[in-house]
């Protein structure tokens, strides 16, 4: 097989990330009926924060706290509690994406698998344990712990250190976000596969080595390479 390592993003690559459902669950425990309109207001704050986080303009802690400031004031609780409760709720509702289990099973024992995620520590480890995959991925590289986020090459270099500096031609990065996963992998000098589940237009000047529409398609692609 061409690849000895397959590195995955987590959210919307292996795991379905339904923030609205998670927020509804979390706020229900404060007796708040969190509506779709509430979610739209939340995202107006949250989404630009993630861009700043990926660009290195915000820390993980700043992002986690700023996005809940208005709700913390309304509910008279700390932003830290709301963020922690949200991550716990997301862990409770976590689900693998269609084809993820089959893909992971098919690669186990044939390639090394790791995760590089811009998500937060509290969610990642619990979620992997819940779906029984805690021992399938090494390294598990989390931006909150490293101090830099994809697409910064620093988080990839940290992963390479943990991987024993393999030949970069033998490493494939798989992710759904072209601006963090694919551009980050390209900048780090490794091969990339864009999981484009929604048929989005490819961003200009970002050229993944492969593009698939599902994890089933990715499994077929990698199976072909393993048998070639």
Q: Which of 9, 11, 152, 176 is catalytic?
A: 9
* DSSP code of residue 179: I
Q: In what order do the strands lie in the sheet with 5-8?
A: 140-142, 112-117, 5-8, 171-175, 191-195, 210-212
H/E element, 95: strand 95-96
Nearest CA among 1, 29, 2, 4 for reference residue 166? 4
Active site residue 205: no
Count Cβ atoms within 10 A of the Cβ of residue 74 and give its class: 0-12 exposed, 13-18 middle, 19 or more buried: exposed
| Rounded Cα gap, residues 59 and 200, in angstroms | 29
Nearest-5° angle of CA 152, CA 107, CA 219?
Answer: 85
Nearest to 95 by CA among 143, 131, 120: 131
Closest CA relative to residue 71, chosen from 85, 59, 57, 52: 85
Q: Which residues are catalytic?
A: 9
């Amino acid at each position: 097989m061409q690849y000895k390592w397959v590195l995955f993003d987590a959210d919307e690559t292996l795991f379905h990330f339904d923030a609205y459902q998670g927020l509804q669950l979390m706020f229900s425990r404060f007796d708040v009926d969190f509506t779709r309109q509430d979610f739209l207001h939340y995202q107006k704050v949250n989404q630009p924060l993630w861009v700043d986080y990926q660009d290195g303009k915000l820390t993980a802690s700043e992002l986690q706290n700023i996005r809940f400031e208005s709700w913390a004031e309304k509910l008279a609780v700390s932003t830290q509690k709301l963020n922690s409760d949200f991550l716990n709720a997301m862990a409770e509702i976590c689900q693998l994406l269609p084809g993820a289990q089959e893909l992971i099973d098919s690669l186990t024992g044939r390639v090394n698998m790791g995760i590089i995620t811009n998500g937060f520590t509290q969610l990642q480890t619990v979620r992997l344990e819940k779906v029984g995959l805690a021992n399938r991925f090494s390294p598990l590289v989390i931006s909150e712990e490293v101090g830099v986020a994809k697409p910064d090459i620093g988080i990839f270099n940290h992963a390479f250190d943990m991987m024993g500096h393999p030949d970069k031609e033998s490493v494939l990065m798989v992710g759904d976000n072209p601006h963090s996963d694919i551009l980050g992998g390209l900048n780090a000098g490794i091969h990339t596969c864009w999981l484009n589940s929604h048929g989005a237009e490819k961003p200009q000047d970002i050229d993944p080595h492969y593009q698939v529409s599902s994890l089933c398609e990715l499994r077929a692609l990698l199976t072909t390479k393993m048998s070639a």
